[in-house]
Amino acid sequence: MADPISSLLRISRRSLLASTAAFLSSASSVRAATVSQGLPWGPNTATPPVPVRPGPWFFFTADEAAIVEAAVDRLIPPDERGPGGKDAGCAVFIDRQLAGPFGRSDGLYMKPPFMPGAPTQGYQLSDAPAARYRAGLKALAAHINSAFPGKSFATLSPQDQDKVLAGLESGSIALDGVNAAQFFALLLENTIEGFFADPIYGGNRNMAGWKLVGFPGARYDYRDWVERHNEPYPLPPVSIMGRSDWSVRE
Amino acid sequence: MRRALFAAIGFAALTGAASAQDLQRFDLIERGRYLAVLGDCAACHTAPGGQPYAGGLALQTPFGKLVAPNITPDRETGIGNWTEDEFVAAMRDGRGRGGKRLYPAMPYPAYTKMTRDDALSIRAYLATVNPVSHAVEVNQLPFPFNIRLSLVFWNALNFTPGRYQPNPQKSAEWNRGAYIVEGAAHCGTCHTPKTFLGGDKSDAPLAGATLQGWFAPNITTDPRVGIGGWSKDDLIEYLKTGTNAWTLASGPMAEAVFHSTSKMTDADIAAIATYLKDSGVGAAAPKPVTVALDGKAMRAGAAIYKDSCAACHRDSGNGEVNLFPRLSGSALVQSDDPTTLLRVVLQGSRAVSTSAKPTAPAMPAFDWRLNDDQAAALLTYVRNSWGNTASPISAGSVASARASLASAP
Amino acid sequence: MARKLPAKDVVIIGLGWTGSILGYELAKAGLDVVAIERGPWRDTATDFPPAYVQDELRYAIRLDLFLRPDQETLTFRNNAGQTALPIRSFVSFLPGNGVGGAGVHWNGQTWRFLPTDFRVRSHLEERYGKDALPADMTIQDWPLSYDDIEPYYDRFEKLCGTSGKAGNIRGVKQPGGNPFEGWRSSEYPTPPLKQGYGATLFAEAARKAGHSPFPQPASNLSEAYVNPLGIKLGQCTYCGFCERFGCGNYSKSSPQTCVLPALLRFPNFTAQTESEVTKINLDGTGTRATGVTYVDTSGNEWEQPASLVLVCAFALFNVRLLLLSGIGKPYDSQTGQGVVGRNYAYQTTSSVGVILRDKVLNTFIATGAHGMIIDDYNGDNFDHSGLGFVGGGYMGMWQTNARPIETRPVPAGTPKWGAQWKKATAETFNRAMSLGTHASSYSYRDCYLDLDPTYKDRLGRPLMRMTFDFHDNELKMSAYLTDRLAEIARALDPVEITPSPRKGPYTIDIYQTTHNTGGTVMGADPATSVINRYCQSWDVHNVFVPGGASVFPQNHGYNPTDTVGALAYWTADAIKGRYLKNPGPLM
């Protein structure tokens, strides 16, 4: 421990002053409701995203996850261009989304009365995505059980899986208590989201989706490229959390 | 009757505030108000949201708390019943009422340079401020640091009282600038490196110092790490508006610009600039070797810079005048002490808003985005690109900075 | 029981573009001003830094910056024969939230209306005869002319630093600009943005077809700029994360980048955030407002007395607030009587998807207001004789992004998933672009806003009900404009084009624009307007609705913000120059 007197004596007035917030705004802190006499600011007050970590399923049961993983791999199949939905992490993405505010329909207007409306009036049912997946996957499992005795969706051949998915999409397969076409549309929408969203959300692993189409990702400066017409953009995609070139240790 | 009246006037003349007999009271107070701006008294003596000069701002020292006292004219809790001599002694000798020694948190080692007239002008101004009943327990340091007697030794080693002595070989403007910089504006209190005892290093005035999470940069004329590359106009613009072609004031300097330098007269700012551009360089640190661009850290740093920084600071490192600080050729970027750089990148910062330049843009925080290796690589890259030369940054120093910022933002 | 606060001179409801402009002008004039904003404080480095704002899922899909329907929404029906149901999730239009309002996440497309737009009914009747307009079309002349408002357009554009090329400076046509625009007093404050490949190809084709393409006027700045308030903006970096996103590097004009740093320096200005104004309070006579009541996040009610009340919320919510406060007579579509909620209109947009052969378009390099446009088919710039509709719009190539969740063009008939989908998506992404038309939406007797009889918000107040559908006039117009655009598209030698004219019925389930207009119309006649020429309420003289698209009598073929900003300055001048000198009805 440093000599206390010398440490004390290293004091200068400025060094003793408390956080910079005290300097920079004579009035409110950043999230106070009343703002006057200067723009509020405080360190680290932003809301950075929290990257998804790999690990056990948050929302899906093992059976549900098996169905979803198999489904996303048919919706976006692996081929010579790159990984399919499963290796790209689409099921992980959906799992984490359903466990969060999206799954709960946080922020949506969910007051009754719920009545069916015209197609122009939008979705009018009271079930949030989490509930829709539970019900949809359960009904799908039941359908597979009866249509393919002894099999589950994951153990069907890819061709049969495709047939089932097409049947859901068109509504020609009826699911018990669930509108098959609407459920399929939700699953497809979330799969695509997972494939192309920033990898921090669990999908688009290694930026597979972005590499497929040539989207440079979370870049923010193209000034030197606007007028370079008909030239491919050379830099690799980058995620909000960076890319492999950011690593010092290889 | 007339004798009594004369006697009364004589008595008032002896004890009244107007020691500068030739100044009308209004002029004296106005002069004192301005000197309080030069001295930035409000920064410590006015708590945020508190009454002007009523004290109460807590200063966190490594050893506990000191609280700036109430210097309004309240008789019980302020300085209303202090004599002239007591006030001057506090400002210039570090002695409070009854001879109590003041902690050098009060920058008496700088204020000692001020004339008695100037000190008493400040007193005259403070006497007109609204008296506020606000008792402040100044010394909240724990034992044994609350024993003021230790300051006898500190003062003996580090404090030489005395007025500013003009340099006859320099212009009046230069001397005025020196008087302000060395005295009321007490720039060295932050910008002069300290000895291990906490006193000023007399052989390296204004060569930069670190204080609890901020590095107050070198403001000598060193061309690489000081203001040698700044023109006099650059310096004037910075002090007056908080920004110039190179950078924007933020952190503790934002406060100094906001409360003090932006409110100085143009003549005084020019004088400060004249002095600082001719203050004579202290011992300049030897120039390090530029880190080669092909190392792993530099390549990673280049990729991070391109993806995270160039949208504002540009591929060229030139930034945007008065908006995004210029990194190429920046003295702060090349400073040996990277404390401010680390802090700004990890936690972000906001520039000062002045009436001339109200924008107050802010740097966002990157601590959540970059790990220690990445932040170190990035800073090494920035410190050694575009003609910059500075020591590399280690992951360990990033980690320490993170830890300090977490405990004392 | 609401607790009463000390009185202020001015209370401003909502701190978006109009609230910021009025706040600045009146605080500068020395008045004591408080702005009450329902949403949170927002600022660049703390809320949309360029470190994580480029997140399509969070901002464009999950709509992080926007109003939550749970806090406020509307009910919707196409016509009075339906029961209106709640908009449970916003899709067709996306109201903003928070300090800065929609000014934070708009695209920056900055357009003036045409001189003929300001006297649209008179002009159309003069040219095509009184029978040319459908009987149920309720368009009306504005109570001010283009010449009246031109200096204010200029002022707002200079506040923003808008980038563009003038086409008409004081009557003298300028090459490279819009030959149809109304006269301007000066060139744009900054030069036009650089254009991408797709827009350049479109412009060439349009020129060959005899049109005059010009760069879209953009409040994404082509270069750094200091505005008249002394605030500095930066240069746009063409990042492609514009609409729905805050700008990370100070290069999109917004209240944050153009006004707030100067506004917050006034000691006589305060912003009260996360506080929702529930009602404008009136005195016993009902002709004078005494202030507002608002609710904080703890549910406490506060009364803010003020001498002047400025209704500066988003267009739809201005209307609702007047209805809930009993200011002005509510519109009854059956009788045609009343004015509050009348003449609700929208925007009629369409697109032409284009897939080219072997081009590298890099459409992800974009700004919100990037692109080349032709205005030949806007307003009454062309002869409508025999076409069967009135109105028009601009068209061109102004693709604002290629963010892949939203933008994944594929040839027509491609399956929506599977191996073929993957192949088509990969091969088409950088060879495709979207052209668009952006056209007028005139007002009709049966398109209006009123209070819903059934559904309530979280405070128990009735939601507003929107009754709206496209009329034949707009659908015919859209088909015509889309055909004209498709003709130009064909000249690009595409592999495929997909014209998609707007089709009815209007659905709230597909994104179109957030250009909701009308409901508190400004006009010369109190029988057909809610506010007068100076944006002052006919009924309550100390209540103004200063701009906000709710004052539009109908919507013309351009984005509303430039007109909204101009009207805010127009109203500020009226308040400072006329009202404050002699408070009372100005007309």
Q: Where exactly are the structural domains of chain A?
A: 62-213
Closest approach of B359 to chain C, Cα-based (Å): 5
Of C49, C249, C261, the CB nearest to B358: C261
Is a pLDDT exceeding 50 seen at residue A10? no
pLDDT for the residue numbered B101: 81
Task: Report the alpha-carbon distance of residue C224 to residue C249 in Å, rounded.
Answer: 11
The closest of B176, B174, B183 to B115, measured between CA atoms, is B183
Query: In the 3-class helix/strand/coil scheme, how is C273-335 assigned residue by residue?
Result: CCCEEEEEEECCCCCCEEEEEEECCCCCEEEEEEEEEEECCCHHHHHHHHHHHCCCCECECCC
Q: For residue C277, what are its two tokens?
A: 């104004």
Residue bearing tokens 């980690």: B399
Least confident range of B74-88, B190-204, C13-27: B190-204
Which ranges of chain A does DSSP label H, i.e. alpha helix?
4-9, 13-16, 20-24, 62-75, 90-98, 101-104, 129-147, 158-170, 180-196, 208-213
Which ranges of B260-394 does DSSP label H, i.e. alpha helix?
266-276, 296-308, 310-313, 331-334, 339-347, 372-383
SS3 B243: strand
Task: Report the alpha-carbon distance of residue C354 to residue C408 in Å, rounded.
Answer: 12
Inter-chain CB proximity A248 and B150 less than 8 Å: no
Is a pLDDT exceeding 80 seen at residue A7? no
Least confident range of A47-51, B4-8, B137-141, C557-561: B4-8
pLDDT for the residue numbered B140: 77
Is a pLDDT exceeding 70 seen at residue A30? no
Provide CB contacts within 8 A for C458, sequence distance 6+: C70, C71
Q: What's the CATH number where C508 sits?
A: 3.50.50.60
For the stretch C378-405, what's the b/e string if a residue is b when 16 or more beta carbons lie within 10 angstroms of its beta carbon?
bbbbeebeeeebbbbbbbbbbbbbbbbb
Cα distances from A244 to residues B314, B367, C348, in angstroms, run: 22, 18, 45
| C chain contacts of residue B305, beta-carbon cutoff 8 Å | none
Task: Report the alpha-carbon distance of residue C570 to residue A231 in Å, rounded.
Answer: 47
pLDDT for the residue numbered C247: 98
* Residue with more model confidence, B281 or B297: B297
Of A14, A21, A246, the CB nearest to B211: A14
Report the DSSP pairing between strands C8-13 and C301-311: parallel
The vertex-C432 CA angle with C429 and C434, nearest 5°, equals 125
Is a pLDDT exceeding 70 seen at residue B62? no
Residues of chain B with pLDDT > 70, as a percent, come to: 91
pLDDT for the residue numbered A5: 36
| A chain contacts of residue C83, beta-carbon cutoff 8 Å | 115, 117
Mean pLDDT of chain B: 88
pLDDT for the residue numbered C306: 98
Q: What subunits make at least 3 CB pairs under 8 angstroms with C? A: A, B
Half-sphere exposure of C513 (CA within 13 A, CB side): 27
Provide CB contacts within 8 A for C299, sequence distance 6+: none
pLDDT for the residue numbered A21: 27
| A chain contacts of residue C408, beta-carbon cutoff 8 Å | 192, 196, 213
Provide CB contacts within 8 A for B26, sequence distance 6+: none
> Residues B303-317: what's their mean pLDDT?
97
Which residue in chain C has the smallest CA separation from A234? C362
Is a pLDDT exceeding 80 seen at residue A32? no
Of A31, A210, A233, the CB nearest to C41: A31
Inter-chain CB proximity B324 and C237 less than 8 Å: no
Q: Could you tell me if residue C585 is inside a domain? A: no
Q: For residue C114, what are its two tokens?
A: 């045409």
Which residue in chain C has the smallest CA separation from A166? C417
Is a pLDDT exceeding 90 seen at residue B264? yes
Least confident range of A24-33, A100-109, C269-278: A24-33
User: Which domain range does residue C286 map to?
Assistant: 3-82+94-579
| B chain contacts of residue C265, beta-carbon cutoff 8 Å | 353, 355, 358
Task: Report the alpha-carbon distance of residue B186 to residue B179 in Å, rounded.
Answer: 9
Which ranges of B160-265 does DSSP label H, i.e. alpha helix?
172-179, 188-191, 232-241, 252-259
Q: What is the ipTM of this complex?
A: 0.95
pLDDT for the residue numbered B104: 77
Q: Could you tell me if residue C481 is inside a domain? A: yes
pLDDT for the residue numbered A88: 98
Inter-chain CB proximity B323 and C43 less than 8 Å: no
Length of chain B equals: 409
Residues of chain A with pLDDT > 90, as a percent, come to: 79
Q: What is the dihedral of CA B371, B377, B382, B386, to 10 degrees?
A: -150
Is a pLDDT exceeding 60 seen at residue B9? no
DSSP class of residue B182? Answer: I
Inter-chain CB proximity A109 and C89 less than 8 Å: yes
B42 touches chain A (CB under 8 A): no
Cα distances from B354 to residues B237, B351, C25, in angstroms, run: 11, 10, 19
pLDDT for the residue numbered B1: 46
pLDDT for the residue numbered B289: 81
Catalytic residues of C: 515
Please identify every stretch of chain C with a pLDDT value under 50, giving residue numbers as ranges.
Answer: none
| B chain contacts of residue C261, beta-carbon cutoff 8 Å | 353, 358-360
Task: Report the alpha-carbon distance of residue B235 to residue B248 in Å, rounded.
Answer: 11
pLDDT for the residue numbered B6: 42
Residues of chain B with pLDDT > 90, as a percent, come to: 65
Which residue in chain C has the smallest CA separation from B366? C51
pLDDT per position as a tens digit, B204-235? 899 999 876 799 999 999 989 999 999 999 99
Which residue in chain C has the smallest CA separation from B308? C51
Q: For residue A158, what are its two tokens?
A: 């890819």
Of B62, B304, B350, the CB nearest to A41: B350
Helices and strands (H, E) in chain C, number of each type: 12, 22
Task: Report the alpha-carbon distance of residue C65 to residue C52 in Å, rounded.
Answer: 13
The closest of C523, C30, C58, C482 to C246, measured between CA atoms, is C58
> Residues A72-94: what's their mean pLDDT?
98
